[in-house]
Structure 1
Amino acid sequence: MTSLNQNWKNFLEKGDEFSFSIIYNKYVEELYAYGISLGFQKENCKDAIQDVFIKIFLDRNNISKIENKSGYIFRSYKNRLIDLEKKNNNKDNIDSVEDKFTIEVTILDNLIETEIANIVKEKIKKLLESITPNQREVVYLKYVVGLQHSEIAEILGIHEESARKLLYRAMEKLRNKISNDELYLIAIYFMLLRFII
């Protein structure tokens, strides 16, 4: 099986369309879920994904110089979503995306249709509402998407150390509000969310 790095190499060096399609398929669902979590409309999320990958395809010579390709893709996607929102609203100023970031807790409804699932869902929702939108976003990028601190830093436009601190503070805040059993429950939730998205 060819690794993602090998597919990047084949695409960037040879313009291999098959490798490009594998790269696209690797990111498309994660980007879409990220855009929805940022509060953007479904159509804008789909359009932004297409725009980002068209740009990558046409500009592959410049992309080869970028070390952190995942971070670049997510940041380009977020910026494109903001541009589309501005264009659609005909506004020069747009509310900060950080003020909108949410994580919908719906996965457990599909897995377990019981009262316990509803209790868990509400508990997680309240816990996530207790942290800032920036903290929710960094938790999502780390534990749902599975990005590294350097990639998260690039997406958020901050230093890697700041991304670490933001995640640490979010997790510390969550730990202070819950028991070890509840923390375990949240970890399972994010693990399941990552596999289903």
Structure 2
Amino acid sequence: MSKDLSENICEEAAFERVYNKYSDDVHNFLYYKYGAQYNTRDKAQEAFIKLWDNCKKVTFAKAKSFLFTVANNLMLNEIKHQKVVLNYQKNKPKQYTNETPEFILEQEQYLEKYKNVLGSLKEEQRVAFLLSKVEGKKHSEIADMLGVTQKVVEYRIYTAFNILKKELENFKIK
């Protein structure tokens, strides 16, 4: 009898005995306590996984208690998670802004002007400018991509920037 109490659950045969003995009991406990809306079979399996992970700490005599406690805690955590999900679904993000219709219209018009000015740039200037400012590439990377020197890339970006400043009022880039 004392051998059973201190038997190592990490041994495959002992763990299999524990699994065969308690798997249905753990599932039924969860099912009857929490109902069918939660996946009780999965939580019972997770409890056995935790038992396997902690097999060196849990004796054969304490295995049943460990399984039921872990399974119950897993189910409680799932219920808490579902409550958080439901609360998040209730609090829908606002569908409005504090911006005036005039501001939105001005923003759209400015964006249209920006696109037109970008379209009027020479292709080399536009490509260098967009690679630098939109994609965040370094001048040396752009030079390698385009097969030109770094000075040529800097000149193209500089001239594109000057054209944009001249054509668009309040044009600034960080």
Length-normalised TM-score, structure 1: 0.37
TM-score by length of 2: 0.41
Larger C-alpha radius of gyration, 1 or 2? 2
Larger relative contact order (C-alpha < 8 A, sep ≥ 6)?
A: 1
